[in-house]
Structure 1
């Protein structure tokens, strides 16, 4: 992590940031075991008073406690799911969120901070020259997501993939079996507001990474037969499923998805599992949450 020298952090309105709340997820994919001590030292060096809330089981409760500290900003150190939880919990009149990258993919953090997502670099840059920005979200059945939604039986592979990432091979094998990984046949139909229709076994609906082009990047795949489905499943398990063979792409601001042979749609929203109704509409919320980024020189 980048070392941080003394700085004069100011808010977007020009007032010095002297008090922050920190929501820290010790189980974030790249948050070190000594994360609290590291972040405390960095903030002390910058003359910023910090109150910490550590997530154990309830992210929402930790975010509410952080809100009640009367801070000028809320630093959230964790992955995409942790950041999404904070932004779903905090309202427009609450302090803005400074998301620090501490997950595996950190897609939201790349959108907010750019390509350099070293936590120390992000913290220094934002607290020196903070700029408040409003970011979009996707919404389905009252649930919001800020990175993306994965739909279909392939979402069951999230748990074994996480175990593999942590090198817990035995746990990964157990999770793989419990996921019924070869029972992933979940046909769906996807209709975008561009008029395009896709038949798919797996669907990804991601917020556009281009701030000038808000909307959804849609990825669909429909493997034919068990071998193709198994191949796609292993790609999901070992890498980024968007690189799997046979993926089609689309772009839209509204997406309707229908399960063709089941009563519900298996999904993960920013990594959190949910079961949606048989027919679900995904809509774009152009201004969904307030975050702090660094001033662009």
Structure 2
């Protein structure tokens, strides 16, 4: 295993799904138990994330990010080129990058314990690059992205907004402008209600999700909220180094990257590239 630095700058997001005073205190105890020292702290996004110069000045060798995929993705993009390593820790709702690096059920305390036992290494996993920036976990394109509004209403515990946005999401999923693949022989020319792109070592894994009834659209929406489309009706569109998505209607497409909304155009291109910074993985210790 690669030696991992024992000096940590901790970034946490108090608004993320698993973050509260108790979980943060338990995390800091786990860091100490692993023989590591916290040399800096940032409550993001209340305070700006540290840059490479901040980390170097503090003597940090690891940037630990305790938050959801959106938080982790945003912070990582700001430290490209830094000589240290990033440690993603599950502190949000989906935690897809943490699951990819440490396993589905690994909690922060177990991840830190593995590091303390020397069961960690650095890696540069594949990710998705587009004009909007890099996606570490996945892209969702199409009218199905409207369900993100439902998810935000759920986060804020706004029942009225959740009911309204659910009705709108079902209608838009069924009638909004679909998205389709171009340049490769993949899928239905009329497009899909949702296309997912996930980075894998073998390429960008693309799937197109369709629906025949309003009930199907509702089930897709629930799957989006759980970030698990696997059981929905879909076409496997293969693995590709580059994928071009278009909206046949010529309208801007809905777009989520690492769960965060972006303004999509009528055409978007995505490429498979390696990470530009080391990321700590403990998956070998499972």
TM-score normalized with structure 1 length = 0.81
Matched, 1:249 2:236: yes
Structure 1 47/13 Cα, relative in aligned 2: closer, same or farther at 3 Å?
closer
Matched, 1:43 2:31: yes
Q: Which moved more, 1:151-160 or 1:230-239?
A: 230-239
- Provide the secondary structure at the position in 1 that maps to 2:236: strand
> In the TM superposition, what is the alpha-carbon distance from 1:190 to its structure 2 partner?
1.1
> In the TM superposition, what is the alpha-carbon distance from 1:282 to its structure 2 partner?
0.9
Structure 1 291/241 Cα, relative in aligned 2: closer, same or farther at 3 Å?
closer
> In the TM superposition, what is the alpha-carbon distance from 1:176 to its structure 2 partner?
3.3
> What is the aligned partner in structure 1 of residue 246 from structure 2?
258
> What is the aligned partner in structure 1 of residue 110 from structure 2?
121
Alignment of 1:179-258 (within 5 A): 181-184=170-173, 185-191=176-182, 193=184, 195-198=185-188, 199-208=191-200, 213-224=201-212, 227=214, 230-236=217-223, 239-240=226-227, 242-243=229-230, 245-252=232-239, 253-258=241-246
1:136, 1:214 within 8 Å by CA — same for their partners in 2? no
1:157, 1:233 within 8 Å by CA — same for their partners in 2? no
1:280 to 263, 268, 271: 268
C-alpha distance in 2, partners of 1:249/1:258?
17
> What is the aligned partner in structure 2 of residue 90 from structure 1?
79
CA RMSD of aligned residues (A): 2.8
TM-score normalized with structure 2 length = 0.84
> In the TM superposition, what is the alpha-carbon distance from 1:175 to its structure 2 partner?
4.0
> Unpaired runs of 5+ in structure 1?
1-10
- Provide the secondary structure at the position in 2 that maps to 1:264: coil
> In the TM superposition, what is the alpha-carbon distance from 1:162 to its structure 2 partner?
4.4
1:107 to 78, 96, 100: 96
> In the TM superposition, what is the alpha-carbon distance from 1:123 to its structure 2 partner?
1.3
> Unpaired runs of 5+ in structure 2?
none
Deviation string 1:78-119 (CA, Å, 9 cap, x unpaired) is 111222122211123332101111122222112111234111
C-alpha distance in 2, partners of 1:169/1:148?
28
Structure 1 80/240 Cα, relative in aligned 2: closer, same or farther at 3 Å?
closer
Q: Which moved more, 1:29-38 or 1:281-290?
A: 29-38
Aligned residues: 276
1:232, 1:241 within 8 Å by CA — same for their partners in 2? no
